[in-house]
Chains A and B, each alone.
Chain A
Amino acid sequence: MDAFFTADEIAFRDEVRAFIRENLPTDLAQKTRDGIHLAREDMARWNTILDKRGWAVHHWPTEYGGPGWTPIQRFIFEAECASGDAPPLSVFGLYLVGPTIYTFGSSEQRARYLPGIRSGETFWCQGYSEPDAGSDLAAVRTTARKVEGGWIIDGSKAWTSEGHFADLMICLARTNPNVKPQAGLSLFIVDMKDKGISLQPVITIDSGHSVNTTFMDNVFVPDDGLIGEVDKGWTYAKFLLSHERTNNAQVHRSRREFTRLKDLAAALPGSGGGRLIDEPAMCRRFTLVEANLVSLEITVLRVLADQTEGREPGPEASIVKIIGSELQQRITELAMEVLGEEGIKAEHEGDSLLAQEAQGWTERHLFRRVVTIYAGSNEIQKTIIARSVLGM
């Protein structure tokens, strides 16, 4: 795909690559390869290393510490991080809360919260979904009631990813029950250490713990914990969901994982004595995934090129979440075929290449059923395409 980049961009890529090679601790790279739910300390360490170089918040405007890169440079940076096995940074602070606060927050909020996100010292979680408000987010029932000096929040939030180690939550709550559902919601900054907050872990089918149910009972948020204006929460939340569409494609992670899978299939013996990857059926499956992956990469680049050159991205922007998530699942499905019986073991013992690679793949394969469900389910995305792109 080099044909797609300018000489300057290639030089930039080499610079990023060299930086990662020299600065990414090997144990962090190993942890990234091994599992899917990384510990807070691990994400924070890499965040801090990037921050020292000025690269932690690479998609933020320069006035808030961003490096001033073009969208294409960010693509290259993310691709290099993924291919070097750098830990993924916590999405909530960097992609959700940061942009919400610098776009809609007060200058005090910017000064108070942005530096911690940039440095990796504070972790955030997202409290939008509720047991009865999933795809239908406007059905949020958690309430925020005005009191002297602030707000009292009551309710429960479902699926709070990373809530068990987050310091703060960005929380969508109902401030006005008397208007249409979307119009009565507001966004708050909630301290996870508040005594009114309790968490219940939710174990997912990969046996991991990354999500929680969060109960909020009489949680006090001071006035300066309201983001922007009261009752505007829905507008803010939607603005952001439409903002970072290409991130959801997870194209770099897919590329990295696919490369690793290819390497594994090349290192494993096939049934006929040669390499597994040379068996016609395997070879064909890898090749078909490669064709899809390249087309996803180029589609994402198209969106970013439009953004870089100041154009509004075309309709292709709405497909990347769908095709990216489906491709992630196809890659792990292929991994299960490569792993054979090793892939269905819940724990993998021994130091064979197969056993070492299997743990991560089995977990990923199971957990990745989620990617077509969260961040706007694919059914909802398809309805949006039919309506707003195709005019149906």
Chain B
Amino acid sequence: MRRSEQTRAEDTLLRDTSRRFLEDTYAWDEGRLRRADRAAHWRSAAELGWFALGLPERLGGLEGDGNQLLSILEEAGRVLHDAPLLANVLLAPKALSAMNEAVAIPLAEKLAAGEIRFAYVPDGSLHLSRSTMRLEGKGSLALGAAEATHWLVAVGSRSADGASLLLLPASDAVRRADSRLIDGRSASTLYFEDLAIPDDAVLARGETAFRLLEELNDRAVIGACAEAFGALEGGLELTVDYVKQRTQFGAPLSSFQAVQHKMAESFCEIEQMRSLLLWGAVALEGSPDERAQAASALKVFLGREGLTAASRCIQVSGGIGLTEDYRIGHVYKRLQTVSALFGSTEAHIARLGDLFIPSTQHET
């Protein structure tokens, strides 16, 4: 178990390689245009082993641990990565592990090689009829659904009775409303209108599916928070550098105590988030309750203290912090985006509360 981010040599190597690769090929620049060829970038990420890392050995994977997986997402967050890494680094490997091996192995190979892409479609109001096997309703915002080849669809996630996890080939027959999000990423709402679902598209149903859906959503939360954390940590570094350089009243902004305290407060918040992320990393493999607690605690922290830390960075940057050509505003927008995805802050407060103080009804 890892209780500090002071890492082992192989982890440092992974982090450093990822950072260098991202900074060389996918750095955020003022033009806001990534000059990188997105397809080539994805293939290079596959060559670095990013999509094999989360797969078990029996599926030809590298069986990396939670810390390693999250370090990739954190690094991607630092450059405000806009491609759908989360579903492919952290979620699809888990779903494939839960599948029949004969089907999973060829999919795992293609995922690892960067030849197929998954998108996670969180439940919105989806319902699969057991008798007719027809799917109805809409999903919640699905990152990268428009560019994915496969959709992992969470259905009926509110109760064990109606729960199922589906793996569907992306199809134009499904109505899709694509949106650009404020942080520049693309996401879609999928509308299923009486779509026939073949039996072999159902990866799990009932109680098994219910637990798997919880796990996938917790993974999505933890992974998205890792990306947001990377963005925020990079944002604080940028801001601290800026206030050291900018002078007003004949002195650097960093010499004013009000500015120092704001940065120190943000630092406190960021370090606490780092602690929660370490918990999240081990909890990825832990008990369902612990994983749920870690995920919700992270999500709540991100939506409150994380956003506050980012808004303080804008504040001490002054006017430049408000401009589209400067990075800090995009960091803020990334955090704002993550805080609305995979369950709102208030929803995670309620969930954490239920775990912390179980109601007596639940116990009987």
Q: Is residue A349 contacting chain B, with contact meaning CB distance below 8 A? A: yes
What's the Cα separation between A279 and B347 when bound, in Å? 11
In chain B between 188 and 206, which residues have their CB closer than 8 angstroms to a CB of chain A? Answer: none
A203's partner among B183, B324, B341 (CB-CB below 8 A) is B324
Interchain CB contact under 8 A, B318 and A372: no
Cα A379 to Cα B318 with chains together (Å):
11
A281 touches B318 (CB 8 A): no
Q: B315, A372: Cβ atoms under 8 Å?
A: yes
Q: Smallest distance from the beta carbon of B300 to chain A beta carbons, Å?
A: 12
**Min CB gap A256→B, angstroms:** 23
A377 to B246, CA, bound (A): 16
Residues of A262-291 whose CB lies within 8 A of B: 271, 279, 281-282
Closest to A342 in B: B340
Q: Which of B181, B311, B349 contacts A345 (CB 8 A)?
A: B181
Q: Does B182 contact A (CB under 8 A)?
A: yes
B contact residues, range = 35 or more
Task: Evaluate contact between A204 and B346: CB separation under 8 angstroms.
Answer: no
Provide the bound-state CA to CA distance between A281 and B177, in Å.
30
Query: Which residues 361-383 of A have a CB within 8 angstroms of B?
Result: 362, 365-367, 369-370, 372-374, 377-379, 382-383
Knowing A139-B248, A382-B258 are in contact, say whether A134-B182 is a contact too (CB < 8 A).
Answer: no
**Is A346 a contact partner of B340 (Cβ separation < 8 A)?**
no
A373-B181 in contact given A205-B324, A341-B141, A382-B258 (Cβ < 8 Å): no
Assess whether B170 is interfacial by the CB under 8 Å rule: no
Q: How far is the CB of B344 from chain A (nearest CB, A)?
A: 6
B181 touches A203 (CB 8 A): no
- Given A369-B314, A377-B318, A337 contacting B324 (CB threshold 8 A): no
Interface residues of B in 69-115 (CB under 8 A from A): none
Q: In which size bucket is the chain A interface? A: 35 or more
Residue A317 at the chain B interface, CB threshold 8 Å: no
In whole angstroms, what is the CA distance A336 to B333 when docked?
A: 12
A383 to B256, CA, bound (A): 11
Main secondary structure of the interface of B (DSSP, over half): helix
A350 CA to B179 CA in the complex, in Å? 12
Judge whether A362 and B346 touch: CB under 8 Å. Answer: no
Q: Is B26 an interface residue (CB 8 A)?
A: no
Residue in A closest to B141 when the chains form the complex, CB atoms: A341
Interface check B322, CB cutoff 8 A: yes
Given contact pairs A344-B341, A369-B332, A382-B258, A362 touches B315 in the complex (Cβ within 8 A): no
Give the chain B neighbours of A367 by CB distance below 8 A.
Answer: 322
B249: chain A residues at CB < 8 Å are 135-136
- Within the assembled complex, what's the spacing in Å between the Cα atoms of A139 and B182? 36
**Is B323 at the interface (CB under 8 A from chain A)?**
yes
In the assembled complex, which residues on chain B have CB atoms less than 8 Å from the CB atom of A339?
340
A203 in contact with B323 given A343-B340, A369-B311, A372-B315 (CB within 8 Å):
yes
For residue A388, CB closer than 8 A to chain B, the reply is no
A202 on the interface (CB 8 Å rule)? yes
Shortest CB–CB separation between residue B33 and chain A, in angstroms? 14
Residue A124 interfacial (CB < 8 Å) = no
**Which A residues are in CB contact (< 8 Å) with B321?**
369, 373
Chain B 248-264 interface 0/1 with A at a Cβ cutoff of 8 Å (1 = within): 11100000101100000
Given A134-B248, A379-B258, A346-B318 contact (CB < 8 Å): no
Q: Does chain A have a CB within 8 A of B337?
A: yes
Minimum distance in angstroms from B341 CB to a CB of chain A: 7
In angstroms, Cα B91 to Cα A129, docked, is 49
Q: Mark B318-345, 1 if CB is under 8 A from A, else 0.
A: 1101111100011011001101110011
Beyond A370-B319, A373-B318, list 15 extra A-B contacts (CB 8 Å). Answer: A134-B319, A135-B249, A205-B330, A281-B346, A281-B350, A336-B339, A340-B340, A344-B340, A345-B179, A346-B179, A365-B336, A366-B182, A369-B314, A379-B258, A382-B258
Top 9 closest pairs, chain A to chain B, by CB: A205-B329, A136-B248, A203-B324, A379-B258, A345-B179, A346-B180, A281-B346, A344-B337, A344-B340
